[in-house]
């Protein structure tokens, strides 16, 4: 479900969003923001998974000594 919102951006952010929309052939600002948020969440999840993997590896290394 989509929600309508009124938002304001500084000039630099607006340029970034415009460039992003042109680069990815996205017509609507809301779609661009939603995509950026999904990409950010994916990167965040991958980073957390990598951190968990490092912790498990460190634990196994200590445990196997």
pLDDT in tens, the chain (65 residues): 888 889 999 999 999 999 999 999 999 999 999 999 999 999 999 999 888 888 777 777 777 76
Q: Indicate the domain borders of the chain.
A: 11-63
Place of tokens 């965040």: 44
Single pTM value for the model: 0.74
Tokens coding 53: 């993997």
**HSE-up (13 A, CA, CB side) for residue 54:** 6
Q: How far apart are CA 17 and CA 37, in angstroms?
A: 12
> What pLDDT is recorded for position 1?
84
Rounded CA separation 11/55 (Å)? 41
């Amino acid at each position: 479900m989509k929600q309508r919102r009124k938002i304001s951006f500084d000039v630099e952010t607006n340029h970034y969003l415009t460039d992003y929309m042109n680069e990815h052939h996205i017509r609507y600002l809301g779609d661009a923001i939603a995509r950026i948020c999904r990409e950010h969440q994916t990167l965040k999840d991958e980073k957390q998974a990598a951190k968990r993997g490092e912790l498990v590896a460190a634990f196994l290394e200590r445990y196997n000594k």
